[in-house]
A and B are shown apart, each in its own frame.
Chain A
Amino acid sequence: MQPSRLHPRDLLSEALAGMLQRPARSALTALGTVLGVGTFVAVLGLTATTSSQIDARFNALTATEVTLQDIAREQNEFAGPAFPADADRRIEQLGGVRHAGVYWPVRLAPGTVVRSAPVGDGGGEPVDVTAASPGVLEAAVPTLAQGRLYDEYATRTAQPVAVIGEGAAARLGITTLETRPAVFIGDQPFTVTGIIADTERKADLLMSVVVPRTTAERIWGEPEAGAASMLIATDLGAARQIAHEAPTALRPDHPEYVKAVPPPDPRTLRSGVGGDLDQLFLLLAGICLAIGAVGIANTTLVAVLERTAEIGLRRALGARRRHVSAQFLAESGALGALGGLVGTSLGTVTVVCVAVARDWTPVVHPATVAAAPVIGLVTGVVAGLYPAWRASGIQPVEALRR
């Protein structure tokens, strides 16, 4: 005699029928799994979304920024400044460069004050003076409050002009360019051509008086060894290539005099993200899942007791113990998987809604979406183990007693 069989399709349809017998109860039972899996997907999705936003912010500015440093004196103590006079032009010829410029902080002689009138103490608060070629100002992507930036002509002819940051302007008591104000650095007067309200890079410019590089050289001489740097704004994706090329383009004779600092690799940034908070939320999701599992276990156990007669009948009709346990396992597994699917959908919707509200790009890793229903399924199956075992132990004799 061939043993009784239960075709997988029959098992599935029996489990489905068992689940749909009491749809409201099944829905409530699945709720725990829905919450658990939903939280899981939402947490992972929101983490991915926010971390990709942080990356985007890094990318937009940092990824297009290359800094060159003058290390000529470290290489050769008799070397002069690393940056040639035509440094801006040399770099701007490279493909992918938007703006480039040399700058350095001007070291003033002790006692030199910066003020907005030829006499007086200038308010006492020190103001930095920065020598910068026009490329630096443009690479910083400034927003001008008033006036304009100085240009190539001012640099070439070493004009006594200055662009000042809004912070510096406030300290110096300059509020408008209508009065053609001047800034006195020591005894040297500089015409203020523009006031910068904000910059995207090099925020220290906001607290500085910025003068053309050539003018600074004429008045205060060449920068100290190692003080000068070069700021290069590049097209997106060009930065690493430019960092590689720039030293040679600047100093074909001594590329080693210049050290290029490329933007950080975004991949190393991404792996650094993922804090304690996410782990806490994942723990909460795990607790939700555990509660969901207990819920499924409880309901399935109640169903087993309720359906004792049905189990007895099935046994009388030729079902083996394993068929009975398989059916209840399949029912609880299907319940878990269904909860997992609904939870995955809700979690994804949550991520998308938050992203839309915050104007972010929603990011949900495919592995998360694929794993979530499986987690629900596993939860359901694990929860069904004990009830299924109980169901298989029911004797048909007792079950069929009226």
Chain B
Amino acid sequence: MTAPVIEFRGVALTYPGPPPVEALKPCELTVEQGDFVSVTGPSGSGKSTFLNIAGLLDAPTAGTYLLDGIDIGTLREQERTALRGRRIGFVFQSFHLLPHRSARENVLLAMVYNGIPRAERDRRAREALIRVGLGHRVDAPPTRLSGGERQRVAIARALVARPALLLCDEPTGNLDTGNAATVLRLLRELNDDGMTIVVITHDPEVAACGRRTVAIRDGVLTERFVRDGAVTERSA
């Protein structure tokens, strides 16, 4: 049995005050390989804090976080950066594509810092774009792509370095219903292929896509189990 992709053991984040703000109260969470977890909650609940910790953008002030079995607390800053670049693929609400570069070049960017040989990069970028259904728009600039296509380029960029975890922050927040559905379908497909996905959203429809749903409210993380149609909640 391989190690879980994400393992939170009493992870918490308190911003030093005054007054100190408990953005995330101590919580337990395990995301196994191949899981599709939705993290929901109203704005200001601590979702972003969860994303930052899970995405290695911020370090927890308490507890232990194991990513792929690696204890983050023991790593130095530069190792965390490298781990972030190689094991985590980010998908953002506002895509964060570079406007002056083609879809392919945007995907290539994800391989610049990870020590992937130059000769391999172009092939992998094309493969990733084909995987998200954009094989015909490889050289299009983001400005000539629809919102859904842009988000799919962003997903291709997140996938191309072959991460252990796809971390999506409101991936459909800027999309209309049709495009949102396409992107969600793509995420489901990726998950069916074995990709571990964590989606952070406030949209119940998006949350419903996940196999598991975790709710955050006032910094408290709660897992909902949907079992036999009955919803039970358990504080983590």
Contact = CB atoms under 8 A, between A and B. Distances in A.
* A and B bind: yes
Interface of A: 1-7, 9-10, 14, 17, 20-21, 309-310, 312-320, 323, 395-397, 400-402
B79 A1 contact: yes
B90 A4 contact: no
B57 interface: yes
Interface stretch (B91-99, B177-185, B188-196, B202-210): B91-99
A316 B82 contact: no
B85 A319 contact: yes
A4 B114 contact: yes
B83 interface: yes
B84 A5 contact: no
A6 B113 contact: yes
Interface string B65-94: 000001000010011011111100010111
Contacts of A17: 100-101, 105
B55 interface: yes
Contact of A323 (B113, B157, B169): B113
B145 interface: no
Contacts of A312: 96
B75 A397 contact: no
B112 interface: yes
B81 A3 contact: yes
B220 interface: no
A397 B79 CA distance: 17
A323 B110 CA distance: 14
A331 to B, nearest CB: 14
B57 A318 contact: no
Nearest to B112: A10
A145 B105 CA distance: 81
A74 to B, nearest CB: 83
B56 to A, nearest CB: 9
B171 to A, nearest CB: 12
Contacts of A318: 81-82, 84-86, 113-114, 161
A400 B109 CA distance: 16
Contact of A402 (B57, B90, B93, B114): B93
Interface residues of B, number: 35
A21 B157 CA distance: 20
Contacts of A2: 82, 115
B118 interface: yes
Contact of A400 (B96, B114, B115): B96
A17 B86 CA distance: 24
A314 B106 CA distance: 11
B94 A316 contact: no
If over half of A's interface residues share one DSSP class (helix, strand or loop), that class is named, otherwise mixed; here it is helix
B233 interface: no
A4 B110 contact: no
Given A1-B83, A6-B113, A320-B113, 4 more contacts: A4-B81, A17-B105, A316-B57, A319-B85
B118 A7 contact: yes
A313 B154 CA distance: 11
A309 B96 contact: yes
A362 B75 CA distance: 62
Given A17-B100, A21-B100, A402-B92, A320 B115 contact: no
A402 B94 contact: yes
B139 interface: no
Please provide the 3 A-B residue pairs with the shortest distance between their CB atoms, ordered closest to farther: A318-B85, A318-B113, A4-B113
A400 B173 CA distance: 14
Contacts of A14: 112
B225 to A, nearest CB: 31
B143 interface: no
Nearest to A13: B112
Contacts of A9: 118
B52 interface: yes
Contact of B115 (A5, A21, A396, A401): A5
Contact of A397 (B52, B82, B92, B101): B52
A245 B123 CA distance: 81
Contacts of A323: 113
Contacts of B100: 17, 20-21
Given A4-B82, A396-B57, A397-B52, A317 B110 contact: yes
A397 B109 contact: no
Contacts of B79: 1, 3
A319 B113 contact: yes
Interface in B39-69: 48, 52, 55, 57-58
Contacts of B83: 1
A316 B113 contact: no
A220 B90 CA distance: 111
Nearest to A307: B98
A21 B118 CA distance: 22
A1 B98 CA distance: 28
11 contacts: A1-B82, A1-B86, A3-B78, A3-B81, A4-B78, A5-B114, A319-B81, A319-B112, A323-B113, A397-B58, A400-B169
Contacts of B78: 3-4, 320
Contacts of A400: 57, 90, 92, 96, 169
A6 B57 contact: no
Contacts of B81: 3-4, 315, 318-320
A1 B55 CA distance: 16
